[in-house]
Amino acid sequence: MRITALTGRSFILLRLIVVFTLVVFPLSLGARSIKADALTPIEDVIEDSRPSIDSNHTITFTTQTLVEDDGSTITVTFPASFDLTSVDHDDIDIEDDSTDKETAVNCAGSDEVSIVVAAQIITFTICSGDTGDITAGSIVVIEIGDHADHDGAGSDQINNHPTPAVYDITIGGTWSDDGLAKIVVVADLTARISVAETLTFTVGAVDAATCVDRDDQTNEVATTGGTLVDFGAVTTEQFYDACHLLTVGTNATAGYGVTVTESDQLSYGGDQIADGACDAACTETTAAVWTTQTINGFGYCLDDLSGDAAATADAGMIQCATAGVEFKIFPELDDDSPEFEAIMSSVAELSANDTTYLGYRLTVPGSTPAGTYENNIILVATPLY
């Protein structure tokens, strides 16, 4: 640990960097007709769109024709280089109008659907005579990954394509319907993502003069970058605040949702800075006040600037610019439940962009070893059609 004595006080030279990974999920606006009955609407919402990263998939479509319980099949085909090697029956569920189908690896018993994974294709066979047919107009939801928990506990996910691009997931089989769902693999950190479905999402830099002063002190970071907040060398047991400006624009008819998670706690080698619990037991889902600098941790508040004030920024929190501001801590990917927390939303098409400040609060314990501590904040923006 490096300690420098200044005017009778001890300081730990500590530089913290919060690096953003911006994730956007486009939803298909239509499906290519392969056979007579094209599936529409159809979508595949993925948990994480970074290259070569394991991710859950939730595929939803409405059947146009009957899928009979006579051995008819539904197939889901992923492009080459999406790695399904570790995925098996236990990692896959299929729902028919919110009711889980009983599944097995084959149709030898009385189960309704068998599930087989072979190379890039997942095949669902509607077992003959076991009353597992799916009627026309049914909403079918297929969950692939560790969130599948009906017949077996899901533990493995699909590994994303290593190359950033837009990819088609093909729905087909021996029954009459077919269609495509589009997903995008996003490579580099960026402050703005613009996709064909007219969804825009930006993470904007904010200087100290503009950032809301949440503690009447002068410790705000001078300027955040579009994908970086650098707290520099900090004094322990003292609040530091900073802001990013989140801006969402979309023509999605049912609005949008934005969620947040962190890859891990702020870490340097084997050392970590715990997220803390505010003054009154704040959590990933419960907000609380945080006014005591010696209660250490790393958390966030929200401040709605434009849009529907009751929906845009988390309505369950007292906002950054309001007396008695409340904070939450970031949920941790692959650790907490839920893994993502909603921070912005709309339930209707936007006539103008929605904007919200994402405010950070940090206070470091005096026992923290010197070093550069870092983690990733993952923002997921999803348009809803």
Residue 22 confidence (pLDDT): 44
Q: Hey, is 64 helix, strand or coil?
A: coil
**pLDDT < 70 regions, the chain:** 1-37, 187-197, 212-219, 222, 308-312, 336-338
141 and 279 both lie in a single domain? no
Residue 30 confidence (pLDDT): 38
225 and 358 both lie in a single domain? yes
Task: Tell me the HSE value of 183 on the side-chain side, using a 13 A CA sphere.
Answer: 25
Domain of residue 165: give its range.
28-185
Last-in-domain residue among 185, 211, 230: 185
- Which CATH number do you get for residue 114? 2.60.40
40 and 8 both lie in a single domain? no
CB 171 within 8 A of CB 61: yes
Residue 37 confidence (pLDDT): 60
Task: Tell me the HSE value of 96 on the side-chain side, using a 13 A CA sphere.
Answer: 19
CB 169 within 8 A of CB 120: no
Residue 218 confidence (pLDDT): 59
Distance of CA 210 to the CA centre of its chain: 28
Last-in-domain residue among 151, 185, 219: 185
Q: Partners of 113 in the beta sheet? A: 103, 126
Q: Report pLDDT digits (tens) over 296-315.
A: 999 999 988 887 655 667 77
> How many residues can be counted in the chain?
385
Residue 283 confidence (pLDDT): 92
Residue 311 confidence (pLDDT): 61
346 and 212 both lie in a single domain? yes
Q: Cα separations (Å) of 316 from 31, 258, 353, 364? A: 38, 15, 22, 27
CB 6 within 8 A of CB 361: no
CB atoms within 10 A of CB 135: 12
- Name the domain count of the chain: 2
Its pTM stands at 0.51
